Amino acid sequence: MAAPQKGRRQTGAPGKPGRTLILFLIAMIALVGGMFGAGELTPRLGIDLAGGTTITLKAKSSPGQANAVNETNMNTAVGIIERRVNGLGVQEAEVQTQGSDNIIVNIPKGTNSQQAREQVGTTAQLYFRPVLTLGPGDPSAQQPQPEATPSAGSSDSPKPSPSTSDKSGDKPADPPAAGAPSASETTQGRALTDNLKADATPTPGASDKPGPSESPAPSDSAAPPADPATEKLQADFVALDCTNEKARGALGDSAKPSEPTLACGENDGVWEKYILGPAEVGGKDVDDANATINQQTGQWIVQMDFTGGGSKKFQAITSKLSQQQAPQNQFAIVLDGEVVSAPSVRQTLSANAEISGNFTQESAQDLGNILSYGALPLTFQEETVTTVTAALGGEQLEAGLIAGAIGLALVIIYLVLYYRGLALIAIVSLLASAVMTYAIMTLLGPGIGFALNLPAVCGAIVAIGITADSFIVYFERIRDEIREGRTLKPAVERAWPRARRTILVSDFVSFLAAAVLFTVTVGKVQGFAFTLGLTTVLDVVVVFFFTKPVMTLLARTKFFSGGGSWSGLDPKRLGAKPPLRRSTRRLGAPTDPKEA
Amino acid sequence: MSRLGDLGARLYRGEVGYDFVGKRKFWYALSVLITIAAIAGLAVRGLNMGIEFKGGAVFNTPKTSISVSAAQDHAEKASGHDAIVQKLGNGGLRIQVTELNTAQADKVQAQLSKDLDIPQEKINADLVGPSWGKQIANKAWTGLGIFMILVVIYLAIAFEWRMAVAALIALIHDLTITVGVYALVGFEVTPGTVIGLLTILGYSLYDTVVVFDSLKEGSKDITKQTRYTYSEVANRSINSTLVRSINTTVVALLPVAGLLFIGGGVLGAGMLNDISLSLFVGLAAGAYSSIFIATPLVADLKEREPSIRALKKRVEAKRKAAAAKGEAPDYSDEGGDEPRDAGPDDETSAPDIPPAAAVAGPRSHGGRGRGRPSGKRR
């Protein structure tokens, strides 16, 4: 779709109309067949037309942030939830606040509401923390006690996670502690980046090295051994039972990014427990995250791009870690208090990282969504989940459809009165376009969660005008050619390049509007832009691959080429000049001495 | 039909035509007036933003047998605003009403409890935030800005910068009028309205581009001849695409008119009204501005170009010379008039077409300058 195009058939040769037409019909049948095959016979309707599920979430402050439930945070949360549930922009979910600490999420009927509920409430607090100590998750399977107090950690790092960067020297960040055993490999999850990939494998080679690591407490962190917090952490670590779900749940709630913490992580079905240093890089440092398939392993992974600041921090931490001995050279990727992977680092890395784990396509995509759109500033509890009926009621849709049908009938009457036989082509083309739009919208329902709301229905009704315009432009060009004294067949072919140019140029503008709005905006505007773009593309498709070939074919029939009074192409009625008259076409033509 | 086909042919040959460019000052003035009225309406009355933008009050009722539409009527009467009513899974109703302060909310709550026959303490009232957050609105504005820049660049490349400027002015004209009508009519602005407005954005430009395309084709090699000035060519372009413009406008407007007058008016569907009004006004304004504003503006801008000005001089000189030779040209000397040969039978009319219709123009300048162009029969 671009500016005036020099078409292949500039001269207007008839081409192979039959073949084009058959291809078009096959495509159409395939679409409709796909619709029946998928068992989806109606488009998914938006919440305003079909109702859906409404979820009420109650905000809770994160630990240590007593005043977190405020207007700003609530609005941020609304924005984040909005983007999460409308990941592709066409799902038509609605998010709003209610009272001071509730958020209502409305999801249209037919959406996977289980998945939506998970996405909506998920806090997704992502942190990269250095591993200080590692142990098997079940305390009964006892092991030597790790000591190597996580040094500075708790004590002298009041700062929240990120800050670290290169001043590592005096930061608690330096993973000072020792790794505990854990013979198991940390294969479960690895964050790798490019060059890291190769060596990410069996990290904790250090495995059965008992507790006190060889390089505890580096330089600065002359770990005040008496630090009560640290000792408590140790004690807790010993007591921690990662196989106990409740114990795990409690962990996530108490973790502060700026302090060392305990965490659990599942690795090949075996739970492991960790003491982790303060967070070095957080979810806010992630610019974008996407689910992809790892080419080598064929597994789903989540790939992250860091922001500028994030990649500096990531570089700093990996450069530090890479100089550590085996157990402490791991960093844990902690999501909502749980270690999803703990890769080891051997080189300084930056820019991007991958999270691998036992992801399915869906869980990888969910995580990607959640990471891209940021961490909720609050934690939420699901208060109620209930169904709601359509906000617009059935009678609105009915009234709209009746009115639309009457309007369409008027359009058809108008076209028949004006274009007579030609109107048939216009109406059939409109029908073809309607069938394709309907089928595609229906298929996109389960495909990408596309939901049709009332504004979109109205937009589609306006699209009738834009689509019909393409035929009208073409018909008028044909009639102009006939007025020049041409017979129908050459007129149809000569009119086409000029009509085609007009159609492409003007549809391009519409498409540009749709594309820009779709890329830039969110929520309902995005859904609208999608509908506009779809109908515009279909307009071009129908005119090129249906209307034009049909016109070419019909020009061969007697009814049309004979110029009967009902064909709409009667040269006499059109006021055609006798063939020998000089062409006085465009006004610019300097040739004509005197008009008419 | 025969007469109409004939008219089409005569329009095409330039035998008849309405002098759009020549009478542009009148149409400019009209547009400026409408735009001022729209802006004044906007300034004085402001827009009535719906609950989706402003938030409001939400009332939750216990299980009730009252129908959604009855509750909606009650809520709208009690509050004087559009209400959104949904039935909840537990049989209760959720009623949302825009823009209420606490005192008003109490009153509405009391009124609702009376109307719905539910004890007041069982109706749970709360404030609800906008579901169409600032974020969506801001991004929509950003998108609009980016689109306008891109479309100007595109039109400047595909056509020329003058057309890009004229198209942009026409677009802003259409949007202003539509928004102004909302302020004046007092309809609530809902997400549907905004989406209607964005639809117009696409349509208005689309329509303008179709007319410009014909203008571009008509004005190819214009400096190589001396018969017509640019303004005349522009006028002829409008006239030759006039039939298309009318047909397209009718086809686009009929279904929307159905939605607005039948769906909204007779069947009384609230949200449909909001959307279809913006569509109706916008589509009509879009069709009008392509013909009466955008193209004459291009002609105005073009006539300032030295080569086009020189052309005009040459054309005038030639006409004078011809007149001196007694060849009786019936061209007016002001840019815009057409050579024409108005027949008597094109005085047909059908008043229901938007202003794009044409009828035979006056033979000389100013014959019926103020005449509204009437439509023609179909």
Q: Nearest-CA distance from A389 to chain B in Å?
A: 5
How far is B179 from B342, CA to CA, in rounded Å?
Answer: 40
Q: Best of B168, B199, B235, B261 to disrupt the A interface by mutation (most A CBs within 10 Å)?
A: B199
- Please answer whether residues A370 and B218 qualify as being in contact, where contact means their C-beta atoms are separated by less than 8 angstroms: no
Where residue B216 falls among pLDDT bands split at 50, 70, 90?
A: confident
Q: Using CA of residue B104, residue B110, residue B113, residue B118, what is the dihedral sign?
A: positive
CA separation for the pair B39, B41 (Å, rounded): 5
Residues B72, B78, B82, B85, Cα dihedral to 10°: -30
B263 at the A interface (CB within 8 A)?
yes
| First-to-last C-alpha distance (Å) of chain A | 39
Q: What is the CATH number of the domain that holds B68?
A: 3.30.70.3400
Considering the domain architecture, whether residues B120 and B164 belong to the same structural domain is answered as no
What is the distance between the alpha carbons of residues B108 and B76, in angstroms, rounded to a whole number? 10
Q: Which two tokens stand for residue A578?
A: 């006798």
Q: Does residue B165 belong to any structural domain of this protein?
A: yes
Q: What is the pLDDT, as a whole number, of residue A280? A: 76
The pLDDT of residue A574: 67
State yes or no: pLDDT of A383 exceeds 80.
Answer: no
| Tokens (6 digits) for B285 | 């304004």
Measured distance between the N- and C-terminal CA atoms of chain B, rounded to whole angstroms: 6
The Cα of B368 is separated from the nearest Cα of chain A by a number of Å equal to 23
Q: Are residues B170 and B66 in the same domain?
A: no
- Taking the CA of residue B33 and the nearest CA in chain A, the distance in Å comes to 28
Residue B58: in which H helix or E strand, if any? strand B56-60
Task: Kindly give the interhelix angle for B191-218 and B134-158, rounded to the nearest 10 degrees.
Answer: 0
Place of tokens 């409001």: B56
Poorest-pLDDT segment among A445-459, B220-234, B337-351: B337-351
For residues B111 and B178, membership in a common domain is answered with no
User: Which of B128, B152, B169 represents a domain boundary (last residue)?
Assistant: B128
**Interchain pair B237, A483: CB under 8 A:** no
For residue B13, is pLDDT > 70?
no
- Cα gap A177→A154, rounded to integer Å: 13
Q: How far apart are CA A585 and CA B14, in angstroms?
A: 9
B286 and B226 within one domain: yes
Structure-token pair, residue A516: 């820009």
B62 or B344: which carries more pLDDT confidence? Answer: B62
The answer on pLDDT for B368 being more than 60 is no
Residues in Cβ contact with A86 at an 8 Å cutoff, skipping those fewer than 6 apart: A92, A93, A522, A523, A526
How would residue B204 be classed by pLDDT, with cut points 50, 70 and 90?
confident
Helix (H, G, I), strand (E, B) or coil at B70: helix
Domain shared by B155 and B297, yes or no: yes
Portion 241-260 of A in contact with B at CB < 8 A? none
Residue B174 lies in a domain: yes
Total domains in chain B come to: 2
Q: Of B128, B153, B180, at which residue does a domain stop?
A: B128
Q: How far apart are CA A372 and CA A354, in angstroms?
A: 13
Chain B residue with Cα closest to A536: B202
**Two tokens, residue A273:** 């427990």
Cross-chain residue pair A464–B142, CB shorter than 8 Å: no
C-alpha of A157 from chain center: 38
Q: What is the pTM of this model?
A: 0.65
Structure tokens at B13: 């040959």
Give CA–CA dist A561/A545, Å, rounded. Answer: 21
pLDDT above 50 (res B361): no
Is the CATH number 3.30.70.3400 carried by domain A52-121?
A: yes
Is the ipTM, as predicted for this complex, more than 0.85? no
Classified as helix, coil or strand, B56 is: strand
Domain ranges across chain A? 17-45+391-574, 52-121, 126-368
In a domain? residue B351: no
Measure the CA–CA gap between A137 and A272, rounded to whole angstroms. 4
Residues B179 and B30 in one domain: yes
Of A99, A476, A521, the CB nearest to B143: A521
pLDDT tens digit string along A515-564?
888 888 766 777 778 888 888 898 899 988 888 888 888 888 777 776 66
Q: How many CB pairs under 8 A join A and B?
A: 348
| Helix/strand/coil for A108 | strand
In a domain, B293, yes or no: yes
Task: For residue B268, name the pLDDT band (cuts at 50, 70, 90).
Answer: low
**Residue A218 phi, psi dihedral angles, 5° rounding:** -65, 160
Pick from A153-157, A261-265, A429-433 the range whose average pLDDT is largest: A429-433
Q: What is the pLDDT of residues A270-326, one digit of tens each?
A: 777 788 888 777 777 777 777 788 777 778 887 878 777 778 888 887 787 777 776
Rg of the Cα atoms in chain B: 26
Measured CA to CA, the distance from residue B104 to residue B107 in angstroms comes to: 5
Confidence tier at B370 by pLDDT (50, 70, 90): very low
When scoring B54, B86, B149, B246 by the number of chain A Cβ atoms within 10 A, the one with the most, hence best to mutate, is: B86
* Mean pLDDT, range B103-111, rounded to an integer: 76
Q: What mean pLDDT is predicted for residues B204-216?
A: 86
pLDDT over threshold 60, residue A11: no
Between B126 and B176, residue with greater pLDDT: B176
**Residue of B131, B168, B341 to mutate when probing chain A, most A C-beta within 10 A:** B131
Backbone angles phi, psi at A195, to 5 degrees: -65, -15
Closest listed residue to residue A152, CA positions, set A234, A248, A227? A227
Interface of A with B in 125-154 (CB under 8 A): none
Mean pLDDT across the stretch A578-593? 43
Alpha-carbon distance A269 to A493, whole Å?
A: 70
Residues in chain B with CB shorter than 8 Å from the CB of A102 are: 126
Average pLDDT over residues A382-400: 71
Identify from A534, A540, A586 which residue to disrupt to test chain B contact, counting B C-beta atoms within 10 A and taking the largest count: A586
- CATH number of B26's domain: 1.20.1640.10
Average pLDDT over residues B290-296: 89
Contact A458 B275 (CB under 8 A): yes
How confident is the model at residue B166, as a pLDDT? 92
Q: Which range is least confidently modeled, A161-165, A234-238, B147-151, B225-229?
A: A161-165
> Which chain B residue has its CA at the smallest distance from A395's CA?
B269
What confidence tier does A125 reach under pLDDT thresholds 50, 70, 90? Answer: low
Contacts of A483 in chain B (CB under 8 A): 9, 12-13
Tell me the DSSP string of A131-152. EEEEEES-TTS--PPP-S--TH
Residue B15 has pLDDT above 80, yes or no: no
Confidence label for B164 from pLDDT (cuts 50, 70 and 90): very high
Mean pLDDT of chain B: 75
CA angle B181, B184, B188 (to 5 degrees): 80
Residues B193 and B292 in one domain: yes
Confidence of residue B35 (pLDDT cuts 50, 70, 90): very high
Q: What is the largest CA-CA distance in chain A?
A: 110
Contacts 24+ apart (CB under 8 A), A411-418: A411/A464, A411/A468, A411/B250, A411/B251, A411/B254, A411/B255, A414/B247, A414/B250, A414/B251, A414/B254, A414/B378, A415/A468, A415/B251, A417/B1, A417/B378, A418/A568, A418/B1, A418/B4, A418/B247, A418/B378
Residue B228 and residue A587 in contact, taking contact as beta carbons nearer than 8 Å: yes
Q: Name every residue whose Cβ is closer than 8 Å to that of residue A479 and which is 6 or more positions away in sequence.
A: A569, A574, B8
Judge contact between B340 and B360, C-beta under 8 A: yes
- Kindly state whether residues B244 and B104 are assigned to the same domain: no
Position B241 in a domain: yes
Q: Which pair of structure tokens corresponds to residue A269?
A: 């079905």
- B64 to chain A, any CB pair closer than 8 A? The answer is no
Domain termination site, one of B98, B128, B158: B128
Among all chains, which residue has been given the structure tokens 């123009």?
Answer: B361
The average pLDDT across A344-356 equals 70
- B152 interaction partners in chain A (CB closer than 8 Å): none
Q: Ramachandran region of residue A92, left (φ > 0), alpha (ψ -120 to 50) or beta?
A: left
Separation CA A10–CA A495 (nearest Å): 10
pLDDT of residue B317: 83
Provide the token pair at A521: 């905006």
Q: Does B247 touch chain A (CB under 8 A)?
A: yes
Domain housing B146:
19-45+135-340
HEC readout, A256-310 = CCCCCEEEEEEECCEEEEEEECCCCEEHHHEEEEEEEECCCCCCEEEEEEECHHH
Q: What is the average pLDDT score of chain A?
A: 69
Average pLDDT estimate for A408-422: 83
Q: How many CB atoms lie within 10 A of CB A222?
A: 11
Give the gap in angstroms from C-alpha B253 to the nearest C-alpha of chain A: 8
Q: Are residues B68 and B169 in the same domain?
A: no
pLDDT at A266 over 80: no
Average pLDDT over residues B6-17: 67
CATH superfamily placement of domain A17-45+391-574:
Multidrug efflux transporter AcrB transmembrane domain (1.20.1640.10)
Locate the chain A residue with the closest alpha carbon to B242. A476
Query: Is residue B276 a part of any domain in this protein?
Result: yes
Q: Does residue B185 sit in the same domain as residue B272?
A: yes
| B97 and B151 assigned to the same domain | no
- How far apart CA A429 and CA A424 sit, in angstroms, is 8
**B378 domain residue, yes or no:** no
What pLDDT does A182 receive?
36
- Is A104's Cβ below 8 Å from some Cβ in B? yes
Q: Is B224 left (phi over 0), alpha (psi -120 to 50) or beta?
A: alpha
* B139 vs B25, more confident: B25
* Whether B89 contacts chain A with CB within 8 A: yes
Question: Rounded to 5 degrees, what angle do the CA atoms B53, B56, B57 make?
Answer: 155
**Mean pLDDT of the A236-255 span:** 67
Asked if the structure places residue B8 within a domain, the reply is no
Q: Tell me whether domains A17-45+391-574 and A52-121 share a fold.
A: no
Q: Do B217 and A82 touch (CB under 8 A)?
A: no
Ramachandran sector of residue A268 (left: φ over 0; alpha: ψ -120 to 50; beta: rest): left
CB contact under 8 A, B267 and A528: no
Same-domain check for residues B33 and B120: no
Ranked by mean pLDDT, which of A199-203, A392-396, B100-104, B239-243 comes out on top?
B239-243
Q: Which amino acid is at B341?
A: D
CA distances in angstroms from B232 to A436, B22, B298, listed in the order given = 43, 8, 12
**Which residue among A411, A480, A520 places its CB closest to the CB of B251?**
A411
A102-108/A94-98 β-pairing: antiparallel
Q: Which carries the bigger pLDDT value, residue B118 or residue A121?
A: B118
pLDDT higher at A397 or A550: A550
Q: Are strands A286-293 and B188-189 parallel, antiparallel or unpaired?
A: unpaired
If pLDDT is split at 50, 70 and 90, which confidence band does B342 have? very low
Percentage, residues of chain A above pLDDT 90:
0
Which run of H or of E encompasses A105?
A: strand A102-108
Residue A184: the pLDDT is 36
Confidence of residue A376 (pLDDT cuts 50, 70, 90): low
3-state secondary structure of A587: coil
